[in-house]
Amino acid sequence: MSVRVRFAPSPTGFLHIGGARTALFNWLYARHMGGTFVLRIEDTDTARNTQAAVEVIINGLRWLGLEWDEGPTTGDPDGPRKGGHGPYFQSRRGEIYKKRVQELVDKGLAYSSEGAVKFRMTREPITIPDLVVGNVTRVLTDREEIDPDFVLVRSDGQPVFHLVNVIDDLEMGITHVIRGEDHLANTAKHLALFRAFGAEPPKYAHIPLILNSDGSKMSKRDQGASLMTYNDEGYAPEAVLNYLVLLGWSPKGNREVMPAKEIVEMFDLPQILRHNARFDMNKLQWVNWEYLKTMAPERFVELGTAALQRAGVSLEGYTPAYILAALSTAKEKFKTFADLKPFVDFYFQKEVEIPAELAAKQFTAESRPRLARLRAAYAELAAFDHASVEKTLKSVATELGVKAGVLVHPVRVACTGKEIGPSLYHLMEVLGKTEVLRRIDRANA
């Protein structure tokens, strides 16, 4: 039988990083097994569901590169979808639930109570066979001991999570439920429900949770809890995916940085760790940086351009070749695209602003004549590539009897308005002779 897994988020208005990892593990398993990855929207709590909230989930999954085989393709519950097991919005599956509840009532396994429908839960311990944790035997807690039965349908007619979750997994032919460990204890209820329906339950794999760096539970409000903040903060989705899979899973041979394609090949359920992991921003940053270093130039420019736009840097009027060359000089200078702007903004400014403090420091009575001498040498250069520019600067320095650094700093400030930035020689090559001379003249006026 072919593997069918699902990611079944509730549209709360954002995609939790832990939820994203759950989706990732499901997706990986589906791809690894050549199975089907289903997206199902658990929107039974109508009060807090909107189309926009569903779109957040859809956009988040697509951003990570987790395309699903079945499910909605837009946030519209009545909109287009793919796959033959729909609808994929629980809010559109009311008839199915109604029929199933009636089935339980007819069997005497469910009953009405104060307007709600409750399930006659077994009082016997239930053993959950879990692919990650092993066999887990759940007995009733003291509170459950008093009344083990639980609500299936609210008095307002809305079915609750446990019910719809089980029915959908059943109707959609889900073979493996890969979900957060926070559902482990609840699985006893789900198993009892499957038994009540006379159906074979799927295999379960409860994966550990992601905690804050201080070990506390990561909730909505915590820093970095929302997947899309990583986009805002300049992380490449491929790096986020790679980092996420490392939380609770690790391949053989001390491998860490590897493309999704390779992860898919190696990924499997039994290797998943059993303990929670803390989210380590430093490590994510490092992974991101590893991706930046080896990233194809086009991709680098694509992500860099988007980041600059977010940061308010306009690239209008500059050629793609210029932008590519400019951004390339900043490669390996920063770890996330959020830090790109200060390294390249001067490329896209007509008049570079030089802070008075820097000007006073670099353009002194002593340095100005040297700068003028260098400017004169540059003016005569035929080829303005980084090698020639460097060679010229160094020979002028020798001629003036100073170290290269003495010329480098004023020129850098003249060209960029900053003391730090890309390799001076390379950035001058990109700026071009005319512009470099113009900037030196302006600074040294």
Partner RNA sequence: GACCCUAUGGUCUAGCGGUUAGGACACCACCCUUUCACGGUGGUAGCUCGGGUUCGAUUCCCGAUAGGGUCGCCA
Closest approach of RNA to the CB of residue 212, in Å: 9
User: Judged by CB under 7 A, which stretch of 24-32, 64-72, 205-213, 234-242 contacts RNA?
Assistant: 205-213
211 binds RNA (CB under 7 A): yes
Residue with tokens 């730090």: 420
Task: Tell me the two tokens of residue 55.
Answer: 């779109």
* Residues 309/313/314/319 CA torsion (nearest 10 deg): -90
Q: Which is nearer to RNA, 62 or 255 (CB)?
A: 255
22 binds RNA (CB under 7 A): no
248 binds RNA (CB under 7 A): yes
202 binds RNA (CB under 7 A): no
Out of 95, 106, 156, 316, the only residue in the binding site for RNA (CB under 7 A) is 156
Out of 67, 124, 419, 441, the only residue in the binding site for RNA (CB under 7 A) is 419
385 binds RNA (CB under 7 A): no
200 binds RNA (CB under 7 A): no
241 binds RNA (CB under 7 A): no
User: Judged by CB under 7 A, which stretch of 113-121, 230-238, 303-311, 366-374 contacts RNA?
Assistant: 113-121
The reply to whether 403 belongs to the active site is no
161 binds RNA (CB under 7 A): yes
User: Judged by CB under 7 A, which stretch of 206-214, 298-306, 310-318, 370-378 contacts RNA?
Assistant: 206-214
Residue with tokens 């079915």: 159
357 binds RNA (CB under 7 A): no
Out of 321, 356, 383, 420, the only residue in the binding site for RNA (CB under 7 A) is 420
What phi and psi values does residue 254 have, to the nearest 5 degrees? 55, 30
Out of 80, 95, 221, 275, the only residue in the binding site for RNA (CB under 7 A) is 275
Task: Tell me the two tokens of residue 437.
Answer: 């001379």
Could you count the other beta carbons within 10 Å of the beta carbon of residue 266? 17
Residue list 53-112, contact with RNA (CB under 7 A):
none
387 binds RNA (CB under 7 A): no
> 429 and 389 in contact (C-beta within 8 Å)?
yes
Out of 76, 99, 265, 273, the only residue in the binding site for RNA (CB under 7 A) is 273
Closest approach of RNA to the CB of residue 12, in Å: 8
Q: Which is nearer to RNA, 183 or 310 (CB)?
A: 183
Q: Which is nearer to RNA, 90 or 175 (CB)?
A: 90
Query: Which residues on neighbouring strands pair with residue 353, listed in sequence order?
Result: none
Q: Which is nearer to RNA, 35 or 343 (CB)?
A: 343
Q: Annotated catalytic residue: which of 107, 217, 220, 403? A: 220
User: Judged by CB under 7 A, which stretch of 66-74, 153-161, 169-177, 222-230 contacts RNA?
Assistant: 153-161
Q: Which is nearer to RNA, 103 or 144 (CB)?
A: 144
- Active-site amino acid positions: 220
